[in-house]
């Protein structure tokens, strides 16, 4: 979990705008009627945009049409960015944009544009940058006003309809914006120019070239240790909110394992353990919410998203391997898989859905997930042993007569071992009692109104989830997870193709719009294809991974700097800049992710041009790495694979034999950062001799050095875990 800037309300105008007198909107052209309004959003797959179609404001989707209209009628553009899973976005839609006064001002004086940040991450990133420079804030809902030619000059987050508890109301804010737009246009345009200049300086500051070195990697590791929250886990020690940022956890696992560094391993394992015990985790379903409002993890924000859970699943699987089999991490991984299978997996066709909202329509956030003590007592007989043990594990206090019975999210207050010792019982007995109680509560919870699911299949997020399932399969001993991952990859490739071999951002609904894929879509699906190649030995999957990487290079590479843009820019009308970044926020930075993929492809194909591009990409931001601290986690993972050869396991044998498959499975189930597994037939080139008995053998190589061949799966596991590592024994 990582601390992010506090999402305070920001009503930031440049000085000239803030000092302007309140003025009327003037007589402007009215918006289209409700039927035309609905038509504008009908092609969107986004439930967030479709929901907005029935509101009081005539929203446009992001595109050329609203910008052309704004220039034609000389109106400012109001942009609202949110997502279907975002509870406060829905609250702002209902309370603020549903207010008659706000709707009248917007309808008479603005061109209104609605953006789903999941559907258009390129637009969201560009606008988040603008608001961050304006106010030092970000997040959702995001509210901006742009000049008619598309330059931001005002930005903030959540606004109530009128002034409320010290927060400025949107009615008054928009009236002041209109006054400046009408009476002091030069000041407004000057403010927009100043913001553009500040954004340019900011981007230059964050894009400084530099050399690659072990010292650079050591600096990231030191920042991870320094910024770690030793009390509650995660990173950052502000009061909140906290997000489950997994890249620094992954880097701490990787470096802790390779260097046998107990401090780094403790940062990673401690964070995962505290996350799993906190209310960030849905204690009954097993998956994780998107964030908590507090540092201690007691107050979750109840939405769940696919990329968050996929990233946590991968980290739990890697922690299991790095610690020599900590069952707590396998349990965490199994819980995430179970929740994803129930809520976000298309079991019939393959593919992973995008997210689960915080609550059902019309209900408070967390109404589905939280409990009162009276509700728990109604399900679990209070005097029963199961109820007593469950209450002890989750810290559920007895009801106080006359005190309010407030709702709360379940979190673990004690371990199974601690409760067993307290009651003089075996751990197995306590675990069974907890399981029975949880099953009863979960059955009761299913009677509630379930939060809606966004069933959009985003290709990048599916790549990440498929990668997580492929890595989890050998650890959880579930071949069906790998099969589902392969089916999901195949569906994305079959139904998500764009022009010229590129990808779409999402599998389009019948008759729906086709949004071209972004950098992340190509990179993450390529990484999933590499993992699929390791799992199956199918050379066609490696070829497809390479094709997608080549498309990413052709469409998104900045040939001058070596960095990668998140978009080709075709969907950014107006002067909004393309985004090239390496920092995690919270998902992996695009340039860092590209370097990681290219390093892996260089090892898998022997094509040194990929390695050269990876180095150049990392060099493009190397001078800015110290500014990012733990948010350079993905960069650190890519740097580790670029400057240090990762283990390459070559299994030589008949790809269809059981003995070859046993060696492959042993390699896939063994953790080693950056590990690559390939299968070669005995007559493949370069030739590698089989064992004397003619049995399949496996070679573990680091660069030009190889360990003696192993023909036994357990011997291979031990060789892969230890060959080339620091000779000190790890602290486990």
| Bridge partner list, 301 | 291
Give me the pLDDT at residue 383, please. 84
pLDDT above 90 covers a percentage of the chain that reads: 75
Give me the pLDDT at residue 566, please. 93
Give me the pLDDT at residue 563, please. 96
- 180: Cβ contacts below 8 Å, ≥ 6 apart: 13, 16, 17, 20, 187, 188
Q: Of the ranges 546-560, 655-669, 678-692, 701-715, which one carries the lowest mean pLDDT score?
A: 678-692
Give me the pLDDT at residue 582, please. 87
pLDDT (mean) for 501-529: 92
Q: Of the ranges 190-199, 415-424, 440-449, 657-666, which one carries the lowest mean pLDDT score?
A: 190-199
Give me the pLDDT at residue 40, please. 77
- DSSP reduced 3-state for 208: coil
CA distance 455 to 268: 32
pLDDT (mean) for 415-441: 96
**Cα 218 → chain centroid:** 25
- DSSP reduced 3-state for 333: helix
Give me the pLDDT at residue 730, please. 45
CA distance 480 to 136: 46
Q: Of the ranges 185-199, 530-544, 581-595, which one carries the lowest mean pLDDT score?
A: 185-199
pLDDT (mean) for 487-492: 98
User: Given pLDDT bands bounded at 50, 70 and 90, which one contains residue 692?
Assistant: low
Residue 601 has pLDDT above 70, yes or no: yes
124-to-44, 98, 117, 346, 578 alpha-carbon distances in Å: 16, 23, 5, 27, 11
Q: Which of 14-23, 183-192, 459-468, 583-592 has the highest mean pLDDT?
A: 459-468
Residues 250, 315: contact at Cβ < 8 Å? yes
Give me the pLDDT at residue 694, please. 75
pLDDT (mean) for 8-12: 32
CA distance 160 to 660: 63
Q: Of the ranges 409-413, 484-488, 507-511, 590-594, which one carries the lowest mean pLDDT score?
A: 507-511
CA distance 228 to 223: 8
Q: Give the CA radius of gyration of the chain.
A: 27
pLDDT (mean) for 554-560: 96
Q: Encode pLDDT of 524-542 as tens digits.
A: 999 999 999 999 999 999 9
- DSSP reduced 3-state for 678: strand
Helix (H) or strand (E) run with residue 484 in it: helix 479-495
- 696: Cβ contacts below 8 Å, ≥ 6 apart: 651, 652, 653, 654, 657, 659, 660, 663, 690, 711
Give me the pLDDT at residue 573, please. 65
In the chain the first and final C-alpha atoms are separated, in Å, by 23
Give me the pLDDT at residue 687, please. 62
CA distance 411 to 390: 11
Cα atoms in the Cβ-side hemisphere of radius 13 Å centred on 21: 3
Give me the pLDDT at residue 732, please. 39
Residue 388 has pLDDT above 90, yes or no: yes
Q: Which of 225-239, 665-679, 680-694 has the highest mean pLDDT?
A: 665-679
Q: At what angle do helices 658-668 and 713-722 cross, to 10 degrees?
A: 30
What's the residue count for the chain?
732
Helices of type H across 136-210: 170-183, 185-205
CA distance 593 to 223: 20
Mean residue pLDDT across the chain: 90
Q: Encode pLDDT of 604-646 as tens digits.
A: 999 999 999 999 999 999 999 999 999 999 999 999 999 998 9
Give me the pLDDT at residue 23, please. 31
Q: Of the ranges 41-55, 113-127, 376-390, 453-467, which one carries the lowest mean pLDDT score?
A: 41-55
**Cα 101 → chain centroid:** 37
Report the greatest alpha carbon distance in the chain. 90
pLDDT (mean) for 323-351: 95
Residue 204 has pLDDT above 90, yes or no: no
Q: Encode pLDDT of 270-308 as tens digits.
A: 999 999 999 999 999 999 999 999 999 999 999 999 999
Residues 107, 178: contact at Cβ < 8 Å? no
Question: What is the pTM (predicted TM-score) of this model?
Answer: 0.93
Domains of the chain: 2-205 (3.40.30.10), 373-447 (no CATH), 648-722 (3.40.30)
Residue bearing the bigger pLDDT, 480 or 132? 480
Residue 161 has pLDDT above 80, yes or no: yes
- DSSP reduced 3-state for 436: helix
Give me the pLDDT at residue 8, please. 31
SS3 letters across 550-573 = HHHHHHHECCCCCCECCCCCCCCC
Residue 266 has pLDDT above 70, yes or no: yes
Residue 12 has pLDDT above 90, yes or no: no
CA distance 222 to 628: 12
With CA atoms as reference, report the closest residue to 300 among 367, 237, 385, 201.
367
Give me the pLDDT at residue 572, please. 72
Residue 120 CB burial class (10 angstroms; 0-12, 13-18, ≥19):
buried
525-to-205, 392, 593 alpha-carbon distances in Å: 31, 44, 12
Q: At what angle do helices 262-277 and 214-227 cross, to 10 degrees?
A: 40
Residue bearing the bigger pLDDT, 413 or 513? 413
Give me the pLDDT at residue 206, please. 75
User: Given pLDDT bands bounded at 50, 70 and 90, which one contains residue 727?
Assistant: low
């Amino acid at each position: 979990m990582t601390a992010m800037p506090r999402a305070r309300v920001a009503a930031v105008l440049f000085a000239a705008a803030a000092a302007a007198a309140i003025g009327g909107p003037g007589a402007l052209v009215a918006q289209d009627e409700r039927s035309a309004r609905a038509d504008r959003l009908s092609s969107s797959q986004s439930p967030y945009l479709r929901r907005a179609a029935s509101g009081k404001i005539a929203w446009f989707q992001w595109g050329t049409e609203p910008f052309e209209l704004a220039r034609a009628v000389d109106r400012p553009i109001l942009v609202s960015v949110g997502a279907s899973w975002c509870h406060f976005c829905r609250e702002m839609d209902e309370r603020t944009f549903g207010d008659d006064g706000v709707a009248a001002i917007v309808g008479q004086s603005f061109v209104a544009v609605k953006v789903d940040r999941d559907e258009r991450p390129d637009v969201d990133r560009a606008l988040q940058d603008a608001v961050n420079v304006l106010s030092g804030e970000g997040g959702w809902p995001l509210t901006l006003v742009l000049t008619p030619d598309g330059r931001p000059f005002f930005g903030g987050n959540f606004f109530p309809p009128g002034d409320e508890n010290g927060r400025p109301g949107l009615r008054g804010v928009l009236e002041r914006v209109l006054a400046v737009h009408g009476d002091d246009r030069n000041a407004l345009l000057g403010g927009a120019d100043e913001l553009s200049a500040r954004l340019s300086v900011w981007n230059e500051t964050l894009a400084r070239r530099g050399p690659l070195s072990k010292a650079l990697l050591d600096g990231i590791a030191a920042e991870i240790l320094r910024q770690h929250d030793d009390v509650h886990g995660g990173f950052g020690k502000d009061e909140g909110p906290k997000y489950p940022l997994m890249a620094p956890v992954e880097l701490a696992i990787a470096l802790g394992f390779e260097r046998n560094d107990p401090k780094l391993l403790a940062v990673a394992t401690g964070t995962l353990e505290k996350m799993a015990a906190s209310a960030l985790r849905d204690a009954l379903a097993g998956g994780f919410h998107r964030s908590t409002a507090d540092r201690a993890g007691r107050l979750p924000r109840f939405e769940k998203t696919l990329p968050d859970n996929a990233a946590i699943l991968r980290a739990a699987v890697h922690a299991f391997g790095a610690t020599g089999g900590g069952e707590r991490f396998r349990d965490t991984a199994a819980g995430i898989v179970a929740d994803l299978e129930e809520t976000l997996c298309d079991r019939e066709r393959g593919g992973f859905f995008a997210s689960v909202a915080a609550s059902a329509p019309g209900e408070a956030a967390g109404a589905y997930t939280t409990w009162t003590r009276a509700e728990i007592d109604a399900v679990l007989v209070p005097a029963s042993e199961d109820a007593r043990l469950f209450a002890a594990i989750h810290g559920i206090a007895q009801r106080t007569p006359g005190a309010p019975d407030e709702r709360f999210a379940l979190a673990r207050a004690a371990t199974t071992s601690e409760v067993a010792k307290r009651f003089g019982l075996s751990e197995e007995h306590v675990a069974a009692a907890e399981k029975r109680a949880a099953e009863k509560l979960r059955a009761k919870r299913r009677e509630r109104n379930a939060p809606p699911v966004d069933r959009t299949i985003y290709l990048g997020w599916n790549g990440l989830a498929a990668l997580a399932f492929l890595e989890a399969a050998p650890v959880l001993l579930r071949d069906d997870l790998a099969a589902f991952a392969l089916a999901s990859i195949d569906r994305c490739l079959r139904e998500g193709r764009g022009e010229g071999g590129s990808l779409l951002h999402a599998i389009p609904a019948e008759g729906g719009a086709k949004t071209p894929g972004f950098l992340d879509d190509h990179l993450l699906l390529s990484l999933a294809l590499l993992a699929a190649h390791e799992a199956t030995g199918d050379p066609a999957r490696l070829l497809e991974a390479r094709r997608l990487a080549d498309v990413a290079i052709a469409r998104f590479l900045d040939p001058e700097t070596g960095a990668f843009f998140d978009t080709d820019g075709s969907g950014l009308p107006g002067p909004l800049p393309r985004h090239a970044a390496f920092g995690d926020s919270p998902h992996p930075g695009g340039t860092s992710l590209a370097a990681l993929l290219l390093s892996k492809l260089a090892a898998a194909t022997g094509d040194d041009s990929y390695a050269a591009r990876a180095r150049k990409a990392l060099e493009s931001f190397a001078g800015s790495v110290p500014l990012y601290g733990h948010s350079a986690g993905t960069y650190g993972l890519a740097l580790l694979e670029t400057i240090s050869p990762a283990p390459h396991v070559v299994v030589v044998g008949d790809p269809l034999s059981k003995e070859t498959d046993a060696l492959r499975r042993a390699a896939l189930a063994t953790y080693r950062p950056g590990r690559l597994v390939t299968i070669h037939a005995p007559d493949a080139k370069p030739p590698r001799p089989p064992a004397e008995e003619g049995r399949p053998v496996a070679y573990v190589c680091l660069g030009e050095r190889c360990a003696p061949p192993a023909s036994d799966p357990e011997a291979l596991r031990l060789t892969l875990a230890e060959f080339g590592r620091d000779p000190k024994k790890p602290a486990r």
